């Protein structure tokens, strides 16, 4: 059984797609159309009851969800790819950057911009929520820009954190 990857193009799942390609793993893609509600269909909920993307169904049939968990599993399952530095400090720095990108830039910033109604049911507040999202994104990009000063990648070589950073920059 090949790996099955459930994704939405242009979303956080793009980073996992990059990692799968980087590892040259055979995988089957299923597009989950969020605006159409594919993520809340019974067949998808049977795979991922959280109704989120990305989802990776591994060769053993078990599903992994959440960007950080999937990225870490891919890196640990394929250590020769060097997607983690391999030392405690380097690995911690990669996870730190990845969590900041996913949790803050994506989860707090871009989510406010693109899924505003999830942050307030009051339409009168939507512009303020989006403005706060833009502030979070701008501040986050400045922080990551400073962290990357003089470097191409978060931890010297391409890592799982760089795949996360790419999708938010994209």
- Cross-strand pairs, 82: none
Helices (runs of H) and strands (runs of E) counted in the chain: 7, 4
Angle at 161 (CA atoms; ends 155, 164), nearest 5 degrees: 150
CA distance 23 to 28: 14
Nearest to 168 by CA among 118, 113, 115, 110: 110
11 flagged as catalytic = yes
* Token representation of residue 133: 């999202």
CB atoms within 10 A of CB 125: 14
Kindly give the pairing relationship between strand 27-31 and strand 55-57: unpaired
* Token representation of residue 1: 């059984």
CA distance 97 to 79: 19
Q: Which of 11, 13, 62, 159 is catalytic?
A: 11
| Residues designated catalytic | 11
């Amino acid at each position: 059984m090949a790996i099955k990857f459930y994704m939405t193009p242009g979303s956080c799942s793009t980073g996992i797609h990059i990692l799968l390609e980087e590892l040259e793993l055979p995988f089957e893609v299923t597009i989950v159309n969020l605006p159409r509600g594919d993520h809340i269909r019974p067949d998808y909920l049977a795979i991922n009851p959280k109704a989120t993307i990305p989802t990776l169904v591994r060769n053993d049939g078990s599903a992994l969800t959440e960007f950080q968990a999937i990225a870490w599993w891919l890196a640990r399952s394929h250590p020769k790819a060097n997607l983690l530095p391999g030392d405690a400090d380097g690995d911690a720095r990669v996870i730190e950057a990845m969590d900041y990108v996913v949790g803050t830039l994506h989860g707090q910033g871009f989510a406010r911009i693109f899924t505003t109604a999830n942050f307030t049911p009051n339409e009168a507040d939507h512009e303020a929520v989006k403005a706060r999202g833009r502030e979070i994104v701008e501040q986050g990009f400045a922080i990551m820009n400073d962290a990357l000063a003089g470097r191409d990648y978060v931890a010297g070589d391409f890592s799982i954190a760089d795949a996360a950073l790419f999708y938010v920059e994209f």
